[in-house]
Amino acid sequence: MSTGFLLPLLEGDEASEFWQGCARGELLVQVCGNCGRRRMPPRPMCPFCRSTERHYEATSGRGTIWSFVIAHPPLLPAYGELAPYNVIVVALDEDPSIRFVGNLVAGPEGAINSVDPTSIEIGAPVEVVFQPVDDVTFPRWMPR
């Protein structure tokens, strides 16, 4: 059964390994094999040294809210049913230049509209949780 959400490719894409990590409960970040700098989103070439050597490393899954928006209709039908919901940008604790876009949820099983939008604050500490949607496991964030 399809939920109607826009979902990433799980195979044959530069980010496939990232999504496979999420399915295992690991928040991975791509790391340059030459200069060692992290990058997100995954891409084939390092933006700092142009090396194509790369691998993934697990992260702490902890960060802070760097920015957020509250989505309101008009939206695609699957998303409109959940509006208003939040979309947050999280800066990773061990490397704040690495930022993830996701949703703040009230708990590990919480929906993307489970947090009162007026309670969201930039700088609030969060930690990752993993939620399946169709065949994909999404990293989402809950307060810590």
Q: Which residues bind Zn ion (CB under 5 A)?
A: 32, 34-35, 46, 48-49, 51
Least distance in angstroms from the C-beta of 64 to Zn ion: 25
CB of 45 to Zn ion, least distance (A): 9
Strands 62-71 vs 54-58: parallel, antiparallel or unpaired: unpaired
50: left (phi over 0), alpha (psi -120 to 50) or beta: left
Which residue, 51 or 67, has its beta carbon nearer to Zn ion?
A: 51
Task: Reduce the DSSP state of residue 21 to 3 states and report it.
Answer: helix
Output the smallest distance, CB 133 to Zn ion, in A. Answer: 32
Query: CA 110, CA 112: separation in Å to the nearest integer?
Result: 7
Least distance CB 51 / Zn ion (angstroms) = 5
CB-nearer residue toward Zn ion: 18 or 138: 18
For residues 20 and 14, is the Cβ–Cβ distance under 8 A? no
* Comparison of 49 and 78: residue with beta carbon closer to Zn ion: 49
Q: Identify which of residues 9 and 35 has a Cβ nearer to Zn ion in the complex.
A: 35
| Residue 50 vs 144, nearer CB to Zn ion | 50
Cα 6 from chain centre: 14
CB atoms within 10 A of CB 57: 13
> Least separation, in Å, of the C-beta of 49 and Zn ion?
3
Rounding to the nearest 10 degrees, give the CA dihedral for residues 107, 111, 117, 120: 30
